[in-house]
Amino acid sequence: MSAIGYFVAGTDTGVGKSLASSALLHKLVDQGMRAVGMKPVAAGTFEQHCAHTNEDVLQLQAAGNVAAPLALRCPYLLQAPLSPHLAAAAEGVTISLPRITGAYRELAAMADAVIVEGAGGFRVPLTQELDGADLAAALELPVILVVGMRLGCLNHALLTQDAIAARGLRLDGWIACRVDPGMDASDANVATLQRLMNAPMLGDIPHLQHADARRAAAFLDTSALLRPTEFPR
């Protein structure tokens, strides 16, 4: 059986993508699967044990149960906390889609499930010519959209849904992440999205004082996410 793979996209940066991706990994591990997280492009590092690392990459690693090299889990680890195309340019790095799809294939050979977390919003630039949507299309994976519940989220979610469809990709579900605890009419906004989104809601993660992926996993339903997908070309 081929590995299950999903590309986790966000409506924007800071919408809870890493939390939701790690929570998905916890759910898959709890179901007895070998699951690994991948962050193809991570921008913004800090030093730990004399090496540079990234918080999102660490969170995904902690949630999975497959030991895989960092070079596969994060082919591009960039130091500056900027849009990937700017961070890469600052280091003289050119982001290559074949390098990322090759790393994905290797991870998929090690695991039953691979959760791929995109950078920033769905169409964040990766190079002068490529963006996050191009990456999702190159991986040929179904998409899970994380919607950060805050003012403007309805427009952002619907525009992103349209962008996913425009690339010929399948939106298999979306997750509400309540990043703004003071948002007015948050329940009504979730209900509106349930009516307007063309995919099922897979979870509604409440605002957590501490971003705990294990706790967040309790608010997800992954029963629909157990269909194998083909490896990207």
Q: Any idea which residues carry the catalytic annotation?
A: 39
Residue 44 structure tokens: 């913004």
135 contacts: CB under 8 Å, gap ≥ 6: 7, 40, 41, 97, 100, 118, 126
> With the CA atoms of 215, 217, 218 and 223 taken in that order, what torsion angle do they form, in degrees rounded to the nearest 10?
-170
Q: Of 18, 17, 38, 56, nearest to 146 (Cα)?
A: 17
